[in-house]
């Protein structure tokens, strides 16, 4: 599994009243996840739609922002699902898209186990 583009999905917003707090918490979580993955694995390139496209989240047309994310996912060979992804309409959309296109899907925990088996491939 060398040289792959890896799409790292994590919930971003929320339908709760305290949406700003949830967004901040989720941004901090994905920052930590991305830092860990990028430093732990020199063989793959990790892409985070939240880092690339979060500024589109509050656009009137949510579907357009999701489609932009799916366009990036199309270029990847692996999807990693993080956090409480089952409660996120964006992550569920990404999961469905990857599933329909036979893109390999891992939970963060499964991917970390895979990396641990690779030995030291850190940067």
Read off the pLDDT of residues 73-102 as tens digits, 9 standing for 90 and up. Answer: 999 999 999 999 999 888 999 999 999 999
Rounded to a whole number, what is the largest CA-CA distance in the chain? 45
Residue 17: what pLDDT? 45
Average pLDDT, the chain: 87
Distance between CA atoms of residues 24 and 50, nearest Å: 12
Q: Is the dihedral of CA 117, 119, 121, 123 positive or negative?
A: positive
Q: pLDDT at position 15, please?
A: 52
SS3 content of the chain, % helix, strand, coil (to 5): 55, 15, 30
Could you read off the pLDDT of 1-37 as tens digits, one per residue? 568 999 999 987 655 545 565 557 878 899 999 999 9
Quick one: pLDDT at residue 20? Answer: 60
| End-to-end Cα spacing for the chain | 17
The answer to whether the CB of 82 falls within 8 A of the CB of 56 is no
Residue with tokens 């357009």: 64
Q: How far apart are CA 22 and CA 120, in angstroms?
A: 34
Using an 8 Å Cβ cutoff, are 45 and 4 in contact?
Answer: yes
Structure token pair of residue 111: 């991917």
Residue 38 to residue 104: CA distance in whole angstroms: 19
Over residues 59-72, the mean pLDDT reads: 82
Predicted confidence at residue 56, as pLDDT, reads: 65
């Amino acid at each position: 599994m060398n040289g792959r583009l890896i799409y790292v999905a994590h919930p971003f917003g929320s339908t709760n009243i305290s949406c700003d707090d949830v967004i901040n918490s989720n941004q901090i979580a994905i920052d930590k996840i991305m830092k860990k993955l990028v430093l732990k694995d020199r063989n793959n390139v990790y892409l985070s739609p939240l880092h690339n496209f979060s500024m589109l989240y509050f656009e009137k047309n949510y579907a357009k922002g999701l489609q932009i994310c799916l366009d990036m996912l199309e270029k990847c060979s692996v999807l990693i699902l993080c956090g409480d992804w089952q409660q996120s309409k964006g992550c569920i959309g990404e999961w469905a898209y990857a599933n329909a296109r036979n893109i390999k899907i891992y939970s963060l925990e499964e991917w970390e186990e895979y990396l641990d088996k690779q030995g030291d491939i850190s940067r």
